[in-house]
Amino acid sequence: MITSSSLAGALLAGVLTITAANAQDVDSATRPAADNTKANAADRDMDAKTPLDQSNDKEAIEVTAGIRKAVMEDKSLSTSAHNVKIVTNGNVVTLRGPVENANEKKRIESLAQKVAMGKTVHNEISVAR
């Protein structure tokens, strides 16, 4: 048997779900779609380091994970900066991808050098704006 309070709760839950879905549609309709075509085109360069170049060596994985953790913990960085590519192979760490400004580029390089002490850090990060 359905009680009036359970029916009201179900209706309210449905209204909230529909409202949240509509709000998401409005947000995505007003925001331009992400276009990473230019950034991804750079990966086609045979000399460009991509995540496929990441070494499976335990130390390399730990270095990359440590840098990623440091970058993600820095809340002053933009979403673009949080998503830079970090590739460690041997004694070289390569940083690639777009960030919003030169300060973010420098900050990520600094974090990488701190975590990957003794390794060479190649900063190939580009400033998008």
2 and 65 share a domain?
no
Q: What is the count of structural domains for the chain?
A: 2
52 and 111 share a domain?
yes
Average pLDDT, the chain: 77
87 and 62 share a domain?
yes
Max mean pLDDT among 7-11, 15-19, 21-25, 74-78 falls in 74-78
CA pseudo-torsion sign 115, 116, 118, 124: negative
Strands (E), the chain: 85-89, 92-99, 120-127
Q: Whole-angstrom Cα distance, residue 54 to residue 117? A: 18
pLDDT in tens, 16-67: 444 444 444 444 455 555 455 555 555 555 567 676 777 788 998 999 999 9
The pTM of this model reads: 0.64
97 and 65 share a domain?
yes
Are 129 and 88 in contact by the 8 Å Cβ rule? The answer is no
| pLDDT band at 81; cut points 50, 70, 90 | very high
Token pair recorded at residue 9: 């709760």
112 and 52 share a domain?
yes
pLDDT in tens, 112-122: 999 999 999 99
Q: Give the range of the structural domain holding residue 13, as residue numbers without chain letter.
A: 1-31
Question: Given this model, what pLDDT does residue 94 score?
Answer: 95
101 and 46 share a domain?
yes
26 and 41 share a domain?
no
18 and 56 share a domain?
no
CATH, residue 92: 3.30.1340.30
Q: Whole-angstrom Cα distance, residue 80 to residue 96? A: 11
67 and 114 share a domain?
yes
